[in-house]
């Protein structure tokens, strides 16, 4: 990404290894599943408002569900381990993303030092909920089924519940039992 300040550095910038945007967004979503830091909510709103960013929503959704699951259950391989549960860890909550958070639900963590002027936390909570409604969309390849609610005789769509992925697109984590 080229930004105006880059022209003042006096030469080409080196390539730096960085976290993929989809993984970074998924990590912020998983963190907001545990707690509500304003900086992560602000970053998610910022990313969602950037035109031209190619964000693979299906991958982000799968990674967020996986990260929330690992936060709750841990993950251990020969190379690494992740102890669980993390404080505040819970299953990925689609309904939590459909319901706007109020300013009192967001930990401001001195967000005013990072942004000037600081965002209104009520607006930020509503924006994140509105901008990430797509988290409730069914996973690709998984059809939504109609079912009959017991005792009511009416049909309704079940709430979509994303499942942990079978592996990542590049083959990492293939064969891991969830």
- Does the residue 174 lie in any domain? no
3-state secondary structure of 156: strand
pLDDT of residue 163: 54
Q: How many residues does the chain have?
A: 178
- Does the residue 13 lie in any domain? no
- Does the residue 169 lie in any domain? no
State the total domains in the chain. 1
pLDDT of 140 > 70? The answer is: no
What's the rounded mean pLDDT across residues 81-97?
A: 86
**Selection from 41-55, 81-95, 147-161 with the highest mean pLDDT:** 41-55
3-state secondary structure of 35: coil
- Does the residue 107 lie in any domain? yes
- Does the residue 67 lie in any domain? yes
DSSP string, 86-134: PTT-----HHHHHSPPPGGGSB-TTGGGTSSSPPPHHHHHHHHHHHTGG
pLDDT of residue 39: 92
- Does the residue 44 lie in any domain? yes
- Does the residue 126 lie in any domain? yes
pLDDT of 169 > 90? The answer is: no
> pLDDT of 17-37, one tens digit each?
999 999 999 999 999 999 889
> Is residue 20 exposed (0-12), middle (13-18) or buried (19+ Cβ within 10 Å)?
exposed
What's the rounded mean pLDDT across residues 49-57?
A: 91
pLDDT of residue 170: 63
* 132 contacts 109 by C-beta, under 8 angstroms: no
Domain residues for 23? 18-156
Token pair for 63: 């990674």
What's the rounded mean pLDDT across residues 79-83?
A: 81
């Amino acid at each position: 990404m080229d930004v105006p300040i880059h022209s003042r550095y006096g030469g080409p910038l080196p390539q730096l290894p960085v976290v993929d945007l989809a993984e970074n967004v998924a990590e912020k979503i998983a963190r907001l599943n545990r707690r509500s830091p304003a900086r992560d909510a602000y970053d998610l709103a910022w990313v969602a408002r950037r035109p031209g960013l190619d964000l693979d929503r299906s991958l982000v959704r799968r990674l967020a569900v996986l990260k929330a699951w690992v936060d709750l259950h841990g993950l251990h391989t020969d190379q690494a381990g992740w102890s669980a549960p993390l404080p505040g860890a819970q299953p990925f909550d689609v309904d939590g993303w459909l319901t706007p958070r109020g300013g009192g639900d967001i930990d401001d963590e001195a967000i005013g030092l990072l942004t000037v002027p600081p965002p209104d936390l009520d607006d930020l909570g509503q924006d994140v909920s509105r901008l990430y409604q797509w988290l409730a969309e069914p996973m690709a390849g998984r059809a939504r089924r109609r079912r009959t609610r017991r005792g009511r005789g009416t049909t309704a769509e079940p709430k979509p519940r994303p499942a942990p992925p079978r592996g990542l697109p590049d083959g990492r984590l293939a064969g891991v039992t969830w």
